[in-house]
Amino acid sequence: AQSVTQPDIHITVSEGASLELRCNYSYGATPYLFWYVQSPGQGLQLLLKYFSGDTLVQGIKGFEAEFKRSQSSFNLRKPSVHWSDAAEYFCAVGAVKTSYDKVIFGPGTSLSVIP
Amino acid sequence: DAGVIQSPRHEVTEMGQEVTLRCKPISGHDYLFWYRQTMMRGLELLIYFNNNVPIDDSGMPEDRFSAKMPNASFSTLKIQPSEPRDSAVYFCASSEDRGNEQFFGPGTRLTVL
């Protein structure tokens, strides 16, 4: 079965600064990879996903993520953060190769944005 | 499509009472998931269904929790009797495939006094 870690529990950045949120996974093959965002009081919304092909994936709200097989990582980036990006971000790993596979969510990274 | 619908959005009850949370998945999605989110434990998968059949309920915390999916458009999560430690936000999500992207509902915030 797969697993996923997000090393940073909380990150604070200034508005306009660049952002990178880290995600590492463990799986024996190429998994499906997702980033979700949860604004306060809301459900989780998909930002982007990777299944195959180009390892640099573009998502909504100006986010992108890069799949690096050699590092088992799928880090989320944004060149310029807006105050409205303050939220909880979840990396998730999915697979359907065995009957035990399903989507596993990381613990989340809380992002604060300083004006 | 209206997305995943959950009701109620907020529920306040007293310890010992029965609580029923409801979910309507996106039409055509064969998988339905119930999650619980707390500050201490994060997002936990409680149970998921495929074509209305429970597949994995290993995340259900104890026998007080039960879930049903009588048809493709409706599922319930029941807690009986409820306890203060059950206070959390409960999310329902659906997907076309168990390893694919999931669409989440807005959640039900449960408070057990």
> CA of A114, closest CA in chain B: separation in Å?
23
pLDDT band at A100 (very low <50, low <70, confident <90, very high): low
Beta bridge partners of B13: B112
Could you say which residues of chain B have pLDDT below 50?
Answer: none
Give the list of residues 6+ apart from residue B39 with CB closer than 8 angstroms, or none: none
Residue A36 confidence (pLDDT) above 90: yes
Q: How far apart are CA B36 and CA A58, in angstroms?
A: 29
Cα torsion B60, B61, B66, B69 to 10°: value is -20
**Buried-exposed string A38-75: b where 16+ CB fall within 10 A, e elsewhere:** beeeebbebbbbbeeeeeebebeeebbbbbeeeebbbb
pLDDT band at A51 (very low <50, low <70, confident <90, very high): confident
Residue B49 near chain A (CB below 8 Å): no
Q: What is the pLDDT of residue B12?
A: 97
Q: What is the pLDDT of residue B98?
A: 74
Segment A30-59 shows an average pLDDT of 91
Q: How far apart are CA A87 and CA A101, in angstroms?
A: 28
> CA of A44, closest CA in chain B: separation in Å?
6
Probe site for chain A from B33, B43, B44, B53 (most A CB atoms < 10 A): B43
Residue of A nearest to B92 (CA): A43
Beta bridge partners of A110: A10, A88
Q: What is the pLDDT of residue A106?
A: 92
Residue of B nearest to A98 (CA): B99
Residue B99 · residue B91 · CB < 8 Å = no
More reliable by pLDDT, A109 or A99: A109
Q: How far apart are CA A15 and CA A64, in angstroms?
A: 18
- Set of chain B residues whose Cβ sits within 8 Å of the Cβ of A43: 4, 91, 104-107
Residue A49 near chain B (CB below 8 Å): yes
Q: In this complex, do A42 and B93 lie within 8 Å of one another by their Cβ atoms?
A: no
pLDDT band at A101 (very low <50, low <70, confident <90, very high): low
Q: What is the pLDDT of residue A98?
A: 60
Q: In this complex, do B98 and A43 lie within 8 Å of one another by their Cβ atoms?
A: no
Residue A96 confidence (pLDDT) above 70: no
